[in-house]
Amino acid sequence: VGGNQRIYRTGDLGRLRPDGSLEFVGRKDFQVKLRGYRIELGEIEAALAQHSQVKEAVVIAREDSPGDKRLVAYVVATASQPVISQLRSLLKTQLPDYMMPAAFVVLESLPLTPNGKVNRRALPAPELDPTASASFVAPQTPSQELLADIYGSVLGIKPVGIHDNFFELGGHSLLATQVISRLRETFSVEIPLRSIFEAPTVAQLTEHINRIRNTQEQIPIAPAITVVSRQQQLPLSFAQQRLWFLHQLFEGDSSAYNMLAVLELTGQLDIDALSGALTEIINRHQVLRTRFESVGTMQFQVIEPECQLSLPVIDLRELSQPQQSQQVQQLAEAEGKQPFDLEQTPLVRASVLQLSEQKHILLLNVHHIAFDGWSRGIFLKELSVIYTALSSGQPSPLAELPIQYADYAAWQRQWLQGEVLETQVNYWKQQLSGELPVLELPLDYPRPPVQRYTGGKKFLKLSQKLTSSLKQLSQLEGVTLYMTLLAAFKVLLSRYSGHSDIIVGTPIANRHRTELEGLIGFFVNTLVLRTDLGGNPSFEELLGRVREVTLGAYGHQEMPFEKLVEELQPQRDLSRNPIFQVWFDMVNVPRNPLELPGLTVENRLFSDPQSKFDLTVYVRETNQGIQLILVYNAELFSSLRMEQLLEHYQYLLEQIVTNPQQKLSGLTLFREQQKHYPDLIEQIAPREGFREFTKPEIEQSIPHRFSEQVRQYPQNIAIKTKKYQWTYSQLERVANQVAEIVLNQCGNHEQRIALLLEHDAPAIAAILGVLKAGKTYVAVDPSYPKERLGYILADSRATAVVTNNQNLSLAVELSQQEITVINIDEIDHKDVGGSEEHSPPEIAPDQLAYILYTSGSTGVPKGVIQNHRNVLHYIRNYTNNLKIANGDKLTLFSSLCFDAAIVDMFGALLNGATLYPFDLKSEGLAPVPEYLTQEGITIYHSTPTVYRHLMSHLSPEEKLPQIRVIVLGGEEVKPQDVAQYQKHFGIDCTLVNGLGSTEATFTLQNFINGQTEVVNTVPVGYPLCETEILLLDHNGQLTDFYGEIGIRSAHIALGYWGKPQLTEKAFCADPVGGNQRIYRTGDLGRLRPDGSLEFVGRKDFQVKLRGYRIELG
C-alpha cells in the first residue's frame, strides 16, 4: 500500500481466534509433510515433554536413505532414563498414528548452535539400539525374525520386539490385511484376519502360525493370479458388474460414481510432461483404457490399444480474480456432473485451467468402475514419478506391471466358486438370515420413488482430548478405534430409528494379496455389518458384539457384495440401496500426495458431493484430532437435522469414554435435559369476547361452569341443528328436566347412566342433565351392534338408559327389564322458556363424569373413566390456546361416544359459544361446505379423513374465509392436508394438528399458518400446559429421541372401568412422586430438530381409521 512501512516474514505460524486475538501455532520450518499429512513437529515435542522422565525433546523428519522419510524423536532424560515403550504409549493416547516417531534416541544433551539454539542438523542418525527399551525383547527364532520384519515393513517401524503389540504400534485392520498377504508369501500359510486381533504380538502370532502349520488347520490358499489371454472374452469383476448395472439403470445419465480431483498447481507447470505422464499411466494400467460391452445377457471388458490422452488447457488469465473463482467453480462442477460413457475409452478425463503463468488448476476425473480410494494414491504417486522424469527429459522409470485388473477379474471368477463360494455364502446367509431390517431414519423430505444422489456435507472435529480417550478405550478393550466409533454410531442409529437390529455397510480395500497393492482398479469391496443392540447391554458389551461381527466379516471379505445381493435376493426397492442405507468408512488407505518438481500442490473442494447412501460417515485422523465428514442425501434430510446428528454423536462419544460400563439406556443424546417449548397460549391472538379460563376454575364441576355461562349469556344460542335452536337458558331448562327425572328414577347415589340417542341437541341436553344429577354418563351409539351395546351396558353396570321415542324399542330390548328406561320425549318441552326451580346436588371436581368405551386388545371394549376436574383441565387448554370466545361457532361431527366430542361440546358450552352438531351418517359430506358457510362456523374440528372428503367437495377456487381455526385429530395429518388448508382458507385461519387419546383427550398441539412449510411429515407439536411428553424404549425406560409416547400429567384418565390389571399396565405412578401419573399411549413418536414431536406409528397392532381406534386382534 506504499508509505514507509515494510513487512517482515517471521517464519512463525499463527491462527486468528474468534475474539480477534492471535494464537501461536508453531514454526513454518518445523512443519513437515509425511505420507500426505501435514505435521507440526512441536506438537509431538510438547506431548513428549509431558512424560515425567523427559527433560527436553526434539523431533525431526529424517531421510537417511532415499525415499525413507520418517520421524525421529530425541529426548534428554531427567534423573532416570525413560522406557521407550512408555514414551510410545504416551504418544499413542495423544496423537494420531501418522505422528508416531519411527525411532526414539536418548541423548545426554541436545547439540546447540553458538547462539544457544538446538542444532537440529547435528542430531545423530538413530542407531536403532533395542536396549534403549527395558521391555524390548529381540526375536529369538527365525520365524520370529521373519514376522518382526513383516511388522516393521508394514508399520514403517524398526526394530520390532516379540512382545510389541501390532495395534499399539499403529496397526489397524487395513495394515493387518497387508500382514496377512505377506505371511501367505513368507510362510505359505493362510490365516484369518481375526488371528492378528487375538494374537497381536510377534511372539503370540508366531506361536499361532506354528500351531496351524503343525495341525493342518489353515485355510486353503488361493492360487496365484496369472495373466490371462487377451484373445478370450474378459469378464467383469463382480463389483464392476454392479456398477455397470446401475449405469444401465440410469441409462448412462448419472455422475454418482465419478471420482473427481481438483488440484491447484502453483509454480512453473510443464504441460507436455503432465500430458505425457497422464497418458503413460493410462497406458500402463489397462483398466483405464477398458470399455464395456454386452453380448446377449453377458458383459465383457474390451481393452483398447495404447492411446494419447487429450489434455485441453482453458485460458482464464484475462478474467479478474472473482471471475476466475466463479469460472473454476462452474467448470469443476460441470466436470463432476458429466457422465462417462462406459462403452468408450479412456475412463479418465483431464483438463487444465490456466489462471496465470504460475497458477493452474488440474481437473482429474475417473469413473469408479476403474478406480477406488486406494487407486487414487497409486495414481498420484506414479504421476509424481513419471512427471519428474519426463520434465527432465528422462523416460518413465516404472517397471511394467506383472498383472492387470482384467487378470484379477478372471481370477476372482475362477476362484470364487464351488466349496470356496459355498463357505462364503453360508456365513453371510447366516449373518443376514431372517427378515432384514430397513433402517427408517427420520426424513425431512419424502423419499423419491427412484433413488437420487443429491448430497450435502457436514464436518465435525473431535478434540484431541476426546480422540485420545477414544484410543485409550479401544486399546483397553482390545478393539480398533474404528470398532469403537462404529459401535457408538450404531447406538445413535438405534436411537434415531427405534430399531435394535442395525445394519451398516463399510468398505474394505480387498487388496489382500501383495501383487494387488500397486494396481489401479475397482477392488474395494463392501462388508455388511449387522449388530444386535437388544437387551440393553453396556457399551463394553456392545463393543464385544461389534468386534465379533467385524472380525467375522473380515474373515469372509472375499464374498463380493454384488454376489451377496444376488444370493440373498432382497426385495427390490429402487428408492434405496439394497440391504443397508448407511455407510461408515474409516479412511486409512495409504495417502500419497502429489509432489511435482517446481510446483506446490493443494487439493481444492467444490460443491456438495453426491450421496450414494442415505448417510455416509467418513472418519479421518488428523493432528488436531478425529475429523468426521458426514455426507447425507439432501433429497431426504435437512441441514439442521444433520448438524444435530453430529452433535448427538459427539455427546454419545463423550459419555462413552467417561463410563464405558454404562448401559445403553443410560446414554443420552441431549446435553440439556430441560425442554424449551413455545408457549401454545400465544399462538393465536385473543379476539373480542374471549375470557381466559384460569387454573383455579378447574376446581368445580362441569354443570357449575355451564351454569355460569347461562347466567352470563342467557340469550346466546347454545346449540343449533336442523331441528333445534336453543339458547343457553333453554338448554339449561331441558338439562334440568332430564336431571330431575334421572334423580326421581335413580335416586341420589353415584351411578352410571347410559345415553342411547342420535346425534342431535337432545343428546347434549341429556349429557348435561345426567351430569347435573351427579351421575356418570355412558354414551352409546344406537347404530352399534346389539351385542356391543349389551356388553357396554352390562360392563358399566348402568342403572338406567336415557333414550327417546326413536330408540325406545331398542332400549327396552337391551334393558331386559333389569335397567330403568327413561324416555326424554315424554318430558314436556312446550314451555322450555319457563323458570322451574331445580336444585342440583353438590358435585365434587373429582367425581366421575363419564365412561367412554374404546376398542380393546382382548376383543371386548374397555371403558375409559374421567372426572370433572380433568375434563375442565383439557377444556381450559383448548379454550386458552384457541381463544374460544362467546361469539364462536364450533362444529360437532364426532360421535358422542368418542373423546373428540368432549372438546367440541364443552369447548363451546363452557365458554358461551354455539355448538353445531351435524350428523355425517345421515346427512353425508356433500352439504357440509355450504353448511359451514351458511352457519358462519368459526372453529372446525374433524378427523383428517372427514376433512379430506370436505376438501374434495370444494371447487379449486372455493374459499371458506369465515373459519378462523381448523382442528384435525384422531389420525395422522399429511402434508397435502396442510396444502389444502393453505389453498382454501383465509390468511388469518390457523390449522391445529392435535394428538390425543381417549385416555388423555388432547396432549399435543401443532399450530400451522399460511406460511408454514411442510414437506414430508406434519409434527403433532408440543405438549399442552401441565403436560409432559416422555419417550419410552422397549423396556419402558426413558429414552430421548424415539420411542413410545408416554404422557405425564395429573389429568390423564383415571383408568379403565372394572379392569385394574389393564389399568396398571397402561397407567403407572410417576417415579418422581407427586400427584402426576404416566399413561403409555402405544403411539410411537420421534423428536424433531426444533423440539416438536413427530408421530411415527403404533407400537402394537392397533390402528386409527377415520378417527376410530381399532384393535385388529
Q: For residue 765, what is the domain's CATH number?
A: 3.40.50.980
How does pLDDT run across 1079-1092, given as a tens digit for each residue? 999 888 998 888 89
Please report whether residue 1104 resides in a domain.
Answer: no
The closest alpha carbon to 649, from 667, 622, 675, belongs to: 667
Are 380 and 420 contained in the same domain?
A: no
What pLDDT, on the 0 to 100 scale, is given for residue 219? 67
CATH code at 210?
1.10.1200.10
The CATH number covering residue 50 comes to 3.30.300.30
Q: What's the CA gap between 800 and 819, in Å, rounded?
A: 5
Q: Which residues of 929-958 are buried (b: 16+ CB within 10 A; e: fewer)?
A: beebeeeebbbbbbbbbbbbbbbeeeeeee
User: pLDDT tens-digit profile of 719-733?
Assistant: 999 999 999 999 999
Q: 3-state class of 714 per DSSP?
A: coil
Answer yes or no: is 1081 within a domain. Answer: no
CA 461 to CA 457: how far, in whole Å? 14
- 574 and 474 co-located in one domain: yes
Cα 133 to Cα 109: distance, rounded to the nearest angstrom: 19
* Cα dihedral 270→61→519→292 (10° resolution): -50
781 and 739 both lie in a single domain: yes
How long, in residues, is the chain?
1113
Is 495 a domain residue? yes
473 and 543 in a single domain? The answer is: yes
Give yes or no: residues 750 and 656 share one domain: no
Q: Is the dihedral of CA 651, 480, 519, 98 positive or negative?
A: positive
pLDDT of residue 132: 42
Q: Could you give the percent of the chain with pLDDT greater than 90?
A: 57
Q: What is the pLDDT of residue 133?
A: 46
Q: What integer pLDDT is reported at residue 752 of this predicted model?
A: 96
Taking the chain (1113 residues) in runs of 10, the rounded mean pLDDT of each run is 83 79 74 74 89 90 74 86 77 80 86 86 72 62 84 83 83 85 84 86 87 69 90 93 86 84 95 96 96 91 91 96 94 92 94 96 96 93 96 94 96 90 92 90 90 91 92 88 96 92 93 90 94 94 94 88 87 87 88 85 76 94 88 94 95 96 92 72 89 96 97 97 96 95 88 96 97 96 93 95 96 92 81 48 95 78 95 96 96 94 97 96 90 96 94 91 95 93 94 91 89 87 91 85 92 95 91 86 88 85 61 59
Residue at which a domain ends, from 167, 187, 221: 221
Amino acid 831: pLDDT:
47
| Shared-domain flag, residues 146 and 14 | no
Q: What is the largest CA-CA distance in the chain?
A: 121
Could you give the CA distance from residue 204 to residue 789 in angstroms, rounded to a whole number? 77
Residue-level pLDDT at 636: 94
Torsion of CA 571, 574, 580, 584, to 10 degrees: 170
Same domain, 546 and 629: yes
Q: Per the omega criterion (within 30 degrees of 0), is the bond before 578 cis?
A: no
Residues 558 and 523: their CA atoms lie apart, in Å, by: 11
Domain end, chosen from 161, 196, 221, is at 221
pTM for the whole structure? 0.78
> What is the CATH classification number for the domain harbouring 475?
3.30.559.30
Residues 7, 10, 15, 18, CA torsion sign:
negative
Query: Based on the domain organization, do 391 and 268 belong to the same domain?
Result: yes
CATH number of the domain to which 345 belongs? 3.30.559.10
513 with 544, same domain? yes
Say yes or no: 620 and 491 in one domain.
Answer: yes
Q: Which three cell numbers stand for residue 83?
A: 522406557
Is the backbone peptide bond immediately before 346 cis, with ω within 30 degrees of 0?
A: yes
* Domain end among 666, 688, 714: 666
Task: For residue 385, tell me if it sits in a domain.
Answer: yes
Return the sign of the alpha-carbon dihedral for residues 1057, 1059, 1060, 1061. Answer: negative
Continuous segment of H or E residues that includes residue 846: none
Q: Do 182 and 81 belong to one domain?
A: no
Angle at 877 between CA 874 and CA 879, to 5 degrees: 105
> Would you state the pLDDT for residue 859?
67
**Is the distance from CB of 72 to CB of 62 less than 8 angstroms?**
yes
pLDDT at 104: 86
Q: What is the pLDDT of residue 52?
A: 85
Identify the domain containing residue 723 by its residue range: 701-844
Q: Which residue has the cell 346425534?
A: 759
Number of structural domains, the chain?
5
Determine the distance from the C-alpha atom of residue 177 to the mean position of all C-alpha atoms in its chain, rounded to a whole number.
Answer: 31
Helix (H, G, I), strand (E, B) or coil at 385: helix
- Are residues 474 and 372 located together in one domain of the fold? no
851 domain-assigned: no
SS3 label, residue 551: helix
Of 571, 573, 337, nearest to 448 by C-alpha is: 573
Asked if residue 657 belongs to a domain, the reply is yes
Q: Which residues contact 363 (CB under 8 A, 6 or more apart)?
A: 260, 261, 262, 331, 332, 335, 349, 350, 351, 352, 353
